[in-house]
Amino acid sequence: MYNLLVVDDEPKIREVIKEYADFSGYSVTEAADGMSAIGLCKLNDYDLIIMDIMMPKLDGYSAVKEIKKIKDIPVIMLSARGEEYDKLFGFELGIDDYVVKPFSPKELMARANAILTRKQNASKLQNAVMTFDGLEVNFAARTVSVDGERVDLTPKEYELLFYLIQNKNIALSRDKLLSDIWGYDFFGDDRTIDTHIKNLRNNLGPYRNFIVTLRGVGYKFEYEEK
């Protein structure tokens, strides 16, 4: 059974999410503000957090930032604001998905299930260390080194690189990358992927060309064993 933390200052929204989460087999804990959420995360372990942005005492963005300092818990952000800037800001903080209110509870739970499935699949490679010339990816430690030097990636950049490597030499469309990395039916556009690919390539330095652009399609991680 997965442990879910639902954080929203509106009791009715928490109630609806809890109802659908209970039906999906989750154990649900509720919090009405960001400060309470941080306190709960210090005391308990959760598999997933569903977090509203606009809340009293401490907003969702600030709460996620503090929680990420103590535990790496997947987060779905809820907001009445659907601007791309708000979504990208959330992803830079390390959230896994962004859902705009009003939302479908069924879709929300589908997104939650997709995130947890990806996390479970990723754990299968948790002890793997893969090397591509001077590029080393340690999946257990979630670290990336370029010619022996550690490089700092955002959580989404790491997930993107992990996914590309996991599907090495396979063409991946932008839509598939959005769906599988950003979540179930994420309402983003090509710029979301392209921006993260650009930043990831910059971090990979001399090995940036391992990520190949497929014009009109998407991207792939291309590497042939020597």
Task: Name the residue type at position 63.
Answer: A
Question: CATH 3.40.50.2300 spans which residues of the chain?
Answer: 3-122
**Which pLDDT belongs to residue 127?**
61
The pLDDT value recorded for residue 82 is: 65
Beta bridge partners of 145: 136, 150
Within the chain, all domains assigned CATH 1.10.10.10 are found at: 125-221
Please report the pLDDT score of residue 188 as a whole number.
Answer: 54
Tokens of 42: 């210090």
> What is the predicted pLDDT for the residue at 125?
61
User: What pLDDT is recorded for position 34?
Assistant: 94
Helix, strand or coil, per DSSP, at residue 73: coil
Give the DSSP letter string of 122-182: HHTTTT-EEEETTEEEETTTTEEEETTEEE---HHHHHHHHHHHHTTT--EEHHHHIIIII
CATH of domain 125-221: 1.10.10.10
Q: Is the dihedral of CA 32, 104, 85, 181 positive or negative?
A: positive
Residues in the chain: 226
Give the E-state strand segments of the chain in sequence order: 3-7, 27-31, 48-52, 75-79, 97-100, 129-132, 135-138, 143-146, 149-151, 172-173, 211-214, 218-221
Question: Which of 208, 95, 111, 222 is closest to 159 using CA atoms?
Answer: 95
pLDDT tens, the chain, 226 aa long:
899 999 999 999 999 999 999 998 999 999 999 999 999 999 999 999 999 999 988 999 999 999 999 998 999 999 887 677 777 788 888 888 888 888 999 999 988 988 887 777 666 666 678 899 999 998 878 889 999 999 999 888 988 998 899 888 989 888 888 877 876 445 555 678 888 999 999 999 999 999 999 988 899 999 987 6
CATH code of the domain made up of 3-122: 3.40.50.2300
Where do we find the tokens 């550690």? 150
